[in-house]
Amino acid sequence: MKHCKSALSAAILTGLAMSASVHAQDARQQATELDTVVVTGIRGSMERSLDTKREADARLEVVTAEDVGKLPAHNVADTLQRLPGVNISSSSADEGGFDEADRVSLRGTSPSLTQTLINGHSVGSADWFVLSQGNNVGRSVSYTLLPSELVSSVEVHKSSQAKLPEGGTTGSVNIVTRKPLQFPDTVTAEASLGVVNSEQADSTDPQLSALFNYRNPEGTFGVLVQAFSQKRELRREAQEIPGGFFQIGEDDPVAATNPDLVGVWAPGLLGSTLFEQTRERKGGLVDIQFKPSDDLTLGLSGFRSDMDADNYNRNFMLWGGSFARAQAPDPGYVVRDGVLAQASYTGEPGRDYAVYDMIYREASAKTSYVTLDVDWRVSDNLDARFPAGPPSGEGSTDRQYIAEVTLANGGGASWTRHGASSPLDWSVGGDTSPAGVTSFGTWGNQQVTAKDDEDWFTADFSRYFSDGALSSIDFGLRYADHSREALSPEGATPGDIWSTLQDGATAPYPGGFADGVGGNFPRNLWYFTPGALRQAIVGNSTWLAGDDGPTGRHNYGAEWKVDEKNLAAYVQANFKGDGWSGNIGLRYVGVDQDILSYQSVSDLANADVTSLFAQGPGPGCGWACPVWGGWKIINTSNSHSRLLPSANLRFTLSEDLVFRFAASQTQTLPDYSALGASSWGSDLNKTGGGGNPNLKPVVSTNFDANLEWYFMPRGLLSLGAYSMNLKDYVAFGTETRQLFSELTNQLEDYLVSVPINSDGKVTGVEVAYEQPIGANFGISANYTWADGSTSHTWADGSNNLVGTSKNTYNVGAWFENEVFGARVGYTHRSAFLIGLSGANPYYQDDFGTLSAALSYRFNDNLSFTLDALNLNDPDIKYYQSASIPTAFYSNGRQYYFNVRLKY
């Protein structure tokens, strides 16, 4: 680490020394010249993006609004996935793979190390999935709430600058929205009317967006209004192995009869999984600008995006964790690579071989912000800007209607594994119809809500110089008060739900279910309809009047809160000379954290809070018993302060050749749930997770070098290398903790994953190529190689860094004339570690998507587009090791047709 700091200091001092002998140009004039570039179409937008990239002092990738309009992109993450060094993923926790990009990460790291901003300020984060609302909450942003129609441009900063808000270890993504005074005409109106067809869901749904902008002729007042309403049906078909495989222990009963099975891995659960969801995203943006004088511009903007995301997940599962520890497999079983690869179990009376979860959730997510901005030209050589605002986000699962039943009593079971890249063949015997249900359970009244709020203020100043090497100095400060909390109140006490539900309406799995997944496992299945679940649970539960105090109870094991107060101050000197430019700066960051979490205790008399109803525990109390036991309140306070240096140098080696070098230190705070999450567990496999409030921030020492050859208009060939040394990187270990079991109403041992500080590093190479090839055609390609590792050793013996794909590449081609346009692109990323599923590491396998876009311009006011996503109908595969699979998902293709109107 000392060597890295010395190298970083030397790089910054070198930049200062080189600045002494050159002359500067007016930075304000340069910015004005860049702002006046007006381009249209695929070719024009590529040229604008390359011009901005070329002139920037720091490492920057840019996507312009015309790119968003032409690409097959329906949220901002889809837009970014074609850039070098950018990876996307479709989930944030353990919800599995979907057909829409949800998270963005940079340079082979996890999404939590990438900061996302809108117009330079933070975004209120929100998620629809219940685990991302509670016990798996990162610092990344859900892009499913950010439609691409809002974007003017997107900037991907791959090197740090002192003037940029801290928080992105590997870089930051800044989404720039349109501003009313930027429009050239007095009145501008646009609308997009369309539909989306989701092939697998067999559904066609509306997609609407509109924009209206007024700018007075004097250019002193403008108002922009944008609105969107977009609905889409999803259906995902899968084989899932929740929690992965478990190891048979020497204390398990089967060890006495089959000692050769000790230490062998076996599936805890094997699922035939059907997930359906309706996503309905609505919202808009209002932006007002007033310019009372040439030197003063006032701005007020507000944005909101709400998404209803009700979903129904059905998972019929072979319950290996229930019988494989106790019952000996039939003779002829096969152990291969330490895995019980093939086994059959003769049915034993009284033993259940299947468990079936049916979970319907009323879920939603929303994000919003209001920003006030004062832009003041104090004098000819001093600018000041004072933005402030309160972004907020909320993810909520208001009600869960859940039935968990056991089946296949005495029926036996079998499975055959075919490696990590293929589904298992499995089956269970016995009665698997509703009449074969042997037990019923529900926890469907629990609510989960995540709240994310911040109040922030920034004062930014720029002092310009007309002589010498120093062209300008940027300086300022920022203050933010941020709160993130998870709440889990119990909404009702259930009564005799099963008597009603067992006669409720049922429906079959769809025809052709999981044909795209392959494998031989149960498909001809039934499920209770959402209406039947809702009716049985609501009609046979006592819904509580309040969430707190004597009329309610909380699952404190799913509750926590992190408060952070952040003060930052910076100074950045910008230099420009004959054939070179750059900047050097320091940013001070001071953070105070207050963390609230809960610890499970067995002695209710010594508990700070209990999950009880007013009548308290006692014989025969039923659901008034302490279902989640007693809890001690744990309060932790931390303070972190640091100086973060940065330097960026740009050299024009020749008319078409640019070389860049950057060095910096960056700081990223650990995930909110890594700090705050209380210990939680799953009774099905006795695994769980928990937080660690004593985690240190991740501090990264970064170096970046890049050579760019602009060999023709809209032509680029670039080669770059980077390295990141991650001190106090957050990994996950495991330990045994005592948690309260809903099944036994007492403390039990659970194997819990716990975040710990480790160290990590990433080195990588990026290659990018773009070129028009004549006759209105063009091609593009890029490749990123990343090598990431951590000093932490995972349970599988590896030292992998979360999020590192060794290889990522994009290839594309386009055609455009005055009437027609077409674009096709293929994106591929190799396997990477996602995190822990239960106590086991799990990975996403190699994954690639093919997309295409067609456009027809009827005239200046009317055009048509057809976008196709996931044309190759990819399966998303997860695995625990080279021998053990975890999940196989099929989502199908999507087709978007839009009519675009302009005035």
CATH number for the domain harbouring residue 772 = 2.40.170.20
Q: Would you say residue 454 has pLDDT above 60? A: yes
Element holding 68 (H helix, E strand): helix 65-70
452 falls within a domain? yes
Tokens of residue 74, six digits: 């329906």
- Closest Cα to residue 451, out of 537, 559, 370? 559
Mean pLDDT (the chain) is 87
Looking at residue 8, its pLDDT comes to 41
- Closest Cα to residue 291, out of 194, 221, 368, 352? 221
Mean pLDDT, range 604-613, rounded to an integer: 65
> Can you say how many angstroms the Cα of residue 265 is from the centroid of all Cα atoms in its chain?
31
Secondary structure of 783-823 as H, E, C letters: EEEEEEEECCCCCCCCCECECCCCEEEEEEEEEECCCEEEE
What distance in Å separates the CA atoms of residue 692 and residue 674, rounded to the nearest whole number?
A: 6
618 falls within a domain? no
Classify strands 657-668 and 680-682 as parallel, antiparallel or unpaired: unpaired
622 falls within a domain? no
Element holding 675 (H helix, E strand): helix 672-676
In DSSP terms, 279 is beta-bridged to 232
368 neighbors 302 (Cβ within 8 angstroms)? yes
Looking at residue 122, its pLDDT comes to 92
What distance in Å separates the CA atoms of residue 104 and residue 532, rounded to the nearest whole number?
A: 38
What does residue 495 show for φ and ψ, rounded to 5 degrees?
Answer: -110, -140
Looking at residue 33, its pLDDT comes to 35
148 falls within a domain? yes
CA gyration radius, the chain: 28
* Residue that has been written with the tokens 């699979």 in this structure: 885
388 neighbors 355 (Cβ within 8 angstroms)? no
- CA separation, residue 246 to residues 92, 426, 681, 798, 880 (Å): 24, 17, 15, 18, 11
397 neighbors 448 (Cβ within 8 angstroms)? yes
Q: Would you say residue 468 has pLDDT above 60? A: yes
End-to-end Cα distance, the chain: 58
544 falls within a domain? no
617 falls within a domain? no
Task: Give the number of other CB atoms < 10 A from CB of residue 328.
Answer: 16
Q: Would you tell me the crossing angle of helices 41-55 and 27-35 to the nearest 10 degrees?
A: 170
Q: Would you say residue 369 has pLDDT above 80? A: yes
Q: Would you say residue 619 has pLDDT above 60? A: no
What distance in Å separates the CA atoms of residue 323 and residue 239, rounded to the nearest whole number?
A: 20
Tokens of residue 249, six digits: 């222990």
- CA separation, residue 569 to residues 166, 558, 723 (Å): 11, 36, 26
Report how many domains make up the chain.
1
Residue 476 Ramachandran class (φ > 0 left, ψ -120 to 50 alpha, else beta): left
Tokens of residue 252, six digits: 């398990």
- Of 450-464, 705-719, 735-749, least confident by mean pLDDT is 735-749
Mean pLDDT, range 624-643, rounded to an integer: 79
Classify strands 746-774 and 687-689 as parallel, antiparallel or unpaired: parallel
- What is the pLDDT confidence band of residue 181, given thresholds at 50, 70 and 90? very high
pLDDT in tens, 188-232: 999 999 999 999 999 999 999 999 999 999 999 999 999 999 999
Q: Would you say residue 839 has pLDDT above 90? A: no
pLDDT in tens, 648-703: 999 999 999 999 999 999 999 999 988 988 766 565 566 666 788 999 999 999 99
- Of 362-371, 544-553, 766-775, least confident by mean pLDDT is 544-553
Q: Would you say residue 5 has pLDDT above 60? A: no
Pick 24 or 416 by higher pLDDT: 416
Tokens of residue 323, six digits: 């019988």
Tokens of residue 469, six digits: 């090497």
Mean pLDDT, range 353-372, rounded to an integer: 96
Sort 528 into a burial class: Cβ within 10 Å, 0-12 / 13-18 / 19+. buried
Classify strands 448-464 and 382-389 as parallel, antiparallel or unpaired: antiparallel
Tokens of residue 5, six digits: 């700091």
420 falls within a domain? yes
Residue range of the domain that includes 468: 2-443+448-487+496-539+556-610+629-637+654-902
What does residue 764 show for φ and ψ, rounded to 5 degrees?
Answer: -160, 170
What distance in Å separates the CA atoms of residue 542 and residue 602, rounded to the nearest whole number?
A: 27
Q: Would you say residue 324 has pLDDT above 50? A: yes
Secondary structure of 241-264 as H, E, C letters: CCCCEEECCCCCCHHHHCHHHCCC
338 neighbors 263 (Cβ within 8 angstroms)? yes
Task: Give the number of other CB atoms < 10 A from CB of residue 253.
Answer: 12
Kindly write down the DSSP assignment for every residue of 144-179, as one continuous string. Answer: GG--GGGEEEEEEE-S--TTSPS--SSEEEEEEE--
Mean pLDDT, range 749-769, rounded to an integer: 89
132 falls within a domain? yes
Looking at residue 319, its pLDDT comes to 96
- Of 241-245, 473-477, 544-548, 705-709, least confident by mean pLDDT is 544-548
Share of the chain above pLDDT 90, in %: 67
